[in-house]
Structure 1
Amino acid sequence: MSKMTNKAVIIISAIVVLAAAGGISAYYLLRDRGVAAVVNGVKITEEKVAEEVSKSAAQYEAQGMALQPAQLEQVRSSVIENLITREVLLQESASFVIPDEEINEKIASLQSQFESDEAFNEALASQGYDPDSFKEVILQDMKIQKLIEEKVPEETTVTDEEILTFYKENPAYFTEPERIHASHILVTVEAGDDDEKKNQAKAKIERISEELKNGADFADTARRESEGPSGPQGGDLGEFTRGQMVSGFETVAFALPEGEISGIVETQFGYHIIKVHERFPESSVPLEDVRESINSYLVQDKNQTKLKDFLESLKNAAKIRIPGIKDEKTTEEV
């Protein structure tokens, strides 16, 4: 199965196969259990919408984010749109035939990802499925997949001109930020240290600084004296860009010329002495180095656009009615 088709089915099925379970929120218990939308005569009920909104809300709550009524309304709108899209696709793909053995193979593949049959069945039950209803959902998904594969053939070609245009129009994507290669020696000071410990740390870093000024090797000194995790590596921090180190350390490090050693720098971690080995100015990544990644991105973008256009064409051709919203083609309301 192609990457595009995989993604299409995941997008279309997202509302149906949500990972979190939960009861219908109190907010939606207050909503009239009527019809949320009608697609070519097929009703999407408020009960179904409330069920899927509840699952989505449970996902947020599992991450410690409780949705407010206004946010729930946004989720509801998204759920309705997804259910409408799915219903249009189900109707369009109704004539496709999927052999029972292919459906069973798909289910077996999913089931193999669980430790046991019991764990698989518990997962189904947590989402409100039994084996039969889950099999029906898999059948629907496979029909949709087959429809998309037939009606939206995968795009695989991108021209050199398209790649070059994208490269020129998006320079920020292909810019390597300024970076430096540096080492440091750290004498730590903990947040709760008393003045005596702070003074001892200050005396130690001052002694180290004098030794370096007198010609001591930086890496050897770091291995012997540094209290930071990079000490065994001679204090080597590797290469880094702005924003990766604490501000005081960064300011001094990026101001140092190559080969220079700083004075004593104080941060919340303690006292540092920094040596910059090499500086790398901001630069553009050569086109040839990113040609393949641009090609992949543009192919994916083309396929997503084709899929979106196909879905829009199906919905535009369908008779879709939503309570309180007039259908521009019929001027009817549900």
Structure 2
Amino acid sequence: AYKSQKSSIEASYGQALTDAQFAEVIANNFGSVETYRKMIAEQLMVDSYVRLKKADVLNSPITISDTEILSFYRKNRTQFVSPETVKLSHIYIPMVADQATNDKNKALLDDVAGRIKAGSLTFEKAVVDYSQDTQSKNKAGDIGWLTMDNTEALAGLGDTFFDVAFTTEVGTTSDVVTSLNGYHILKILAYNETKILALDDAISPNTTSTIRDYIRSQLSQTKQQETYYQAINSLVDELRKSASVNILYKK
């Protein structure tokens, strides 16, 4: 439990924490690591007791109706927005420390781009012959989907790469694009505009899970939490009703 709590806090901070850093976080919020450990142990004891006494309720299957899913979707549909996306392949040569080599590599790709546009060289053949991206080279240069709101990719590739990727027509190739880490020739495979997703649309181009699946999962988790807290309240009421108090005193 202690390790899982540490992982949870690391996730909220967005980084791994050393034991000393974790202890500092705990001390700032709970006084000490020992106090925190004791609190977690008590919570686990209560949880085990509740799950034992209310197993019939907590183990009952939870069902989510289509009506509930549709109602949730209608109230929250503006949250289910797919950003502008593009699927692309590239021919890539990375930058190196030596500028003369970089100039030579860019000139090479300028020539390759010209031959592709002239029809004397196919993009797929150029990937095999010239690309230095080992991960995409055996997939005709396919690097998957890029979303306009991907700030991590933007930070790594730069504005110019994004501008070309999202303005080049589907099925065509670009001139040489200089990103923050190298030189690319892009081929645009598919493009999707920003839109509000329908219930049975995939959450993203890279997954088969739909908005309906996501909503069902969220509603199921909410019902599980509600059932758990109702079980606790019911158990507390039962314990109160069955409790007896003896007052011992001397005259």
Q: TM-score range by the shorter chain?
A: 0.5 to 0.7
Give matches, 1:1-334, under 5 Å: 14=1, 18-19=2-3, 61-62=18-19, 65-68=22-25, 69-73=27-31, 82=40, 85=43, 89=46, 141=48, 144-150=50-56, 152=58, 154=60, 156-171=62-77, 174-190=80-96, 192=97, 194-215=98-119, 216-229=121-134, 230-242=136-148, 243=150, 244=153, 246-247=157-158, 248-288=160-200, 289-312=210-233
Question: C-alpha separation between the residues in 1 aligned to 2:137 and 2:60?
Answer: 53
CA shift in 2, pair 1:75/1:297, >3 Å: farther
SS in structure 2 at match of 1:233 = coil
- CA offset at residue 146 of structure 1? 2.2
After superposition, the C-alpha distances for 1:154-187 in whole angstroms (9 at most, x for unaligned) are 3523333211111122325543332212121222
Contact in 2 for aligned 1:183/1:275 (Cα 8 Å): yes
Amino acid at match of 2:108: K
Contact in 1 for aligned 2:23/2:32 (Cα 8 Å): no
After superposition, the C-alpha distances for 1:195-229 in whole angstroms (9 at most, x for unaligned) are 32122112212222322232232222222122222
Question: C-alpha separation between the residues in 2 aligned to 1:234 and 1:86?
Answer: 52
CA shift in 2, pair 1:160/1:209, >3 Å: closer
Question: C-alpha separation between the residues in 1 aligned to 2:195 and 2:32?
Answer: 42
SS in structure 2 at match of 1:234 = coil
Residue 137 of structure 1 corresponds to none
Contact in 2 for aligned 1:60/1:66 (Cα 8 Å): no
CA shift in 2, pair 1:291/1:187, >3 Å: closer
Residue 104 of structure 1 corresponds to none
Higher relative contact order (CA 8 A, sep 6+): 2
Q: Normalising by structure 1, what TM-score?
A: 0.52
Question: C-alpha separation between the residues in 1 aligned to 2:180 and 2:192?
Answer: 27
- CA offset at residue 304 of structure 1? 0.9
Question: C-alpha separation between the residues in 1 aligned to 2:212 and 2:106?
Answer: 52
After superposition, the C-alpha distances for 1:62-99 in whole angstroms (9 at most, x for unaligned) are 48544154234387786666566566x49xxxxxxxxx
Contact in 2 for aligned 1:183/1:236 (Cα 8 Å): yes
- CA offset at residue 293 of structure 1? 4.5
Contact in 1 for aligned 2:86/2:192 (Cα 8 Å): yes
Residue 9 of structure 2 corresponds to none
Contact in 1 for aligned 2:170/2:190 (Cα 8 Å): yes
CA shift in 2, pair 1:312/1:73, >3 Å: farther
Q: Which runs of 5+ in 2 are unaligned?
A: 5-15, 201-209, 241-251
Amino acid at match of 1:67: E
Q: Number of aligned pairs? A: 211
CA shift in 2, pair 1:313/1:70, >3 Å: farther
User: What is the RMSD of the two structures over their aligned residues, measured on CA atoms?
Assistant: 3.6
CA shift in 2, pair 1:174/1:77, >3 Å: farther
- CA offset at residue 250 of structure 1? 2.2
Question: C-alpha separation between the residues in 1 aligned to 2:75 and 2:20?
Answer: 38
Larger Rg, first or second structure (1 or 2): 1
SS in structure 2 at match of 1:259 = coil
Amino acid at match of 1:294: I
- CA offset at residue 307 of structure 1? 0.9
Amino acid at match of 2:24: L
Question: C-alpha separation between the residues in 1 aligned to 2:20 and 2:176?
Answer: 43
CA shift in 2, pair 1:162/1:239, >3 Å: same
Question: C-alpha separation between the residues in 2 aligned to 1:201 and 1:275?
Answer: 19
